[in-house]
Structure 1
Amino acid sequence: MTDTTAPWHATERTTVFSRFGRSVERVDYVLPDGRREEFYLKRERPAGAVLALTPDRRVVLARQYRPGPDRVLHELPGGFLEPGEEALDAVARELLEETGYRGEVRAAGPYWHDAYSDARRFAFFATDCVKVAEPAPERTEFIEVVTLPLEEFRTRVLRRGGLTDTAAAYLALDALDLLRPGAGGPEPGPA
């Protein structure tokens, strides 16, 4: 009987493409039943995203064009971790750079980007976010900073597929106890 959960054995790895911290690798595997198959895997640096809430429960978002989906989306602030950088420090830095906001950042949980990628993602939430600076986006980022009421974010953006870090958003809402209908979550900070 074949052990269907046995790890696969990689026999050959070839990098097909590598640029900008991303690569595609062809990997030849021997499967648990002895067959040989090739797979194409995405390789990326770890990244994080943060669901940032203002004291009056507005979600701070980076509205921007995204080349993969080929559309403008409302994104959670976030990005790749720099070498040696902790995930919490990275998302706090990205929140400030992309939006000019700062808040109390806490971990919501890690997750895998998808089944054919080694990319680790880290979800965070930030409370009591206030604008402390002007945004300083990277040279390829053209961002409009917007804030939406939490319920509008849930119904107009999250449930309609209007962002790419959906898993991070749900992990953050769960950590804040905001997934249940009518759930209050933590009380907002002082106005």
Structure 2
Amino acid sequence: MADTTASWREIERTTKFSKFGRSVDRVDFELPDGRKEEFYLKRERPAGAVLALTPDQHVILARQYRPGPDRVLYELPGGFIEPGEQAAEAIARELLEETGYRGEVNAAGPYWHDAYSDALRVAFFATNCVKVAEPTPERTEFIDVVTLPLTEFRTRVLRRGEMTDTAAAYLALDCLRLL
């Protein structure tokens, strides 16, 4: 009997598109049973997201239009980790740039973005966050900074599909024992 969980053998890879730190590759594989199939896979730079809490347990969120789902969604602050940058430093930088808040940043754990991407994401949580500056978003970011009480965040946003980064949020809430 063949091992159905064996690694697939990559035959050929061609980048079809690349922009904004993401690319799409066409990859031809030989499957464990000998068949050949093509897949389209996303390659992305390392990134992370942070569940940021104020001292009074409000969650700091970025609310913005997202072109994939074609809707305005809530997001945890976060973004790409630049080459040579430590993940926690990148997340602290992103939190400040996107929201103007600073806090005590801690790692919650890694997670895979999805099964057709090579993106290993890192979830963080930040406590005692206070506003120290005005946000300085990138040229393609149009963000409304929103703070919600933790209970409202869990019931209204997290469980209703109104946000991205849900895996990071759950990892952070678990680390904080707030599930």
TM exceeding 0.5? yes
Counting only pairs closer than 5 Å after superposition, residues 1-191 of structure 1 correspond to structure 2 as 1-179=1-179
* Aligned equivalents of 2:30, 2:143: Cα separation in 1: 45
- 1:83-123 CA-partner distances (Å, limit 9, x unpaired): 11111111100000000000000000001100110011010
Give the residue type in structure 1 aligned to 2:98.
E
TM-score of the superposed pair, with normalisation by structure 1: 0.92
Structure 1, unaligned stretches of length 5 or more? 180-191
Please state how far the C-alpha of 1:155 moved relative to its aligned partner: 0.7
Give the residue type in structure 1 aligned to 2:49.
A
TM-score of the superposed pair, with normalisation by structure 2: 0.98
RMSD (Å), alpha carbons = 0.7
Deviates more, 1:50-59 or 1:69-78: 69-78
SS in 2 for 1:171: helix
* Aligned equivalents of 2:5, 2:68: Cα separation in 1: 32
SS in 1 for 2:34: coil
Please state how far the C-alpha of 1:4 moved relative to its aligned partner: 1.1
Q: Which runs of 4+ in 1 moved over 6 A?
A: none
* Aligned equivalents of 1:61, 1:42: Cα separation in 2: 26
Q: Percent identity?
A: 83
SS in 2 for 1:142: coil
Structure 2, unaligned stretches of length 5 or more? none
Please state how far the C-alpha of 1:75 moved relative to its aligned partner: 0.9
Number of residue pairs matched by the alignment: 179
Give the residue type in structure 1 aligned to 2:31.
L
SS in 2 for 1:167: helix
Give the residue type in structure 2 aligned to 1:60.
I
